[in-house]
Amino acid sequence: MTAPAFSLCVYCGSRPGSNPAYADAARRVGQWIARHNGQLVYGGGTGGLMGITANAVLEAGGRVIGIIPKALVDKEWAHHGCTELHIVDTMHERKRMMAEKSDAFLALPGGIGTLEELFEVWTWRQLGYHDKPIGILNTADYYQGLLDFMATSVSQEFLGDWQMGLVNISDAPEALLRELVQSAGLTCAPRLDQI
């Protein structure tokens, strides 16, 4: 297998959510990553949108790096079909390794863990700890309430427009993925066997 053209960290729910559009978007993200010779970096789980994304990458012939704390492995939540499965001691170690192994970050719909991961890499970027692109896939307006709240934070002068500008927001998976990879200075041409 050739070296991946890029590594994309995807944060998303360990549940599928109530709207089938979420699972469809996760599947499309996984397929796009694989078809463009990319590599998925994610939390290593089998459930929900996490499992759907990882399985879509694997089924399309792509590479998947899963990073999961031992406590979650013990609960049998680990995806043992990953190309690489890293078992770590803590959530902090998991998030650090995910960030180090990624060229860009993408948040799909998810719960409190997804939000925490998104805000952490967003905070790190505003502080200059990294300059990797960040995206929010606003499938079926899932994030609209959050984005409205963030606009309130700007209007109340707790955030600046420049901080909002650090994140790419779209409801179109393929276009957002292409923008993230290109913003990282990497290529996202389809694999020869996908043309």
Tokens 């998991």 sit at which residue?
94
Say which residues have a Cβ less than 8 Å from residue 52's Cβ, sequence separation at least 6. 16, 23, 26, 27, 30
Q: Is residue 193 part of a domain?
A: no
Q: Is residue 97 part of a domain?
A: yes
Q: Is residue 190 part of a domain?
A: no
For the chain, what percent of residues have pLDDT higher than 70?
97
pLDDT band at 76 (very low <50, low <70, confident <90, very high): confident
pLDDT for residue 85 = 97
Per-residue pLDDT reduced to its tens digit, 182-195: 999 988 777 666 54
Per-residue pLDDT reduced to its tens digit, 77-93: 999 999 999 999 999 99
Residue 104 has pLDDT above 60, yes or no: yes
Q: What torsion, rounded to 10 degrees, do the Cα atoms 189, 192, 194, 195 define?
A: 80
Q: How many domains does the chain have?
A: 1
Q: How far is CA 60 from CA 10, 34, 93, 193, in A?
A: 17, 6, 29, 11
Q: Is residue 189 part of a domain?
A: no
Per-residue pLDDT reduced to its tens digit, 151-174: 999 999 999 999 999 999 999 999
Q: Is residue 106 part of a domain?
A: yes
Q: Is residue 191 part of a domain?
A: no
Q: How far is CA 185 from CA 150, 159, 176, 178, in A?
A: 28, 27, 14, 11
What CATH code is carried by the domain that includes residue 36? 3.40.50.450
Six token digits for residue 80: 């043992």
Q: Is residue 194 part of a domain?
A: no
What mean pLDDT is reported for the chain? 95
CB 11 within 8 A of CB 36: no
pLDDT for residue 100 = 97
- CA pair distance 122, 60, nearest whole angstrom: 30
Q: Is residue 192 part of a domain?
A: no
- Domain extent, residue 37, equals 6-182
pLDDT for residue 1 = 55
pLDDT for residue 70 = 94
pLDDT for residue 185 = 92
pTM of structure:
0.95
Helix axes 91-100, 112-126, angle to 10 degrees: 50
pLDDT average, residue stretch 105-118? 97
pLDDT for residue 2 = 78
pLDDT for residue 192 = 60
pLDDT band at 75 (very low <50, low <70, confident <90, very high): confident
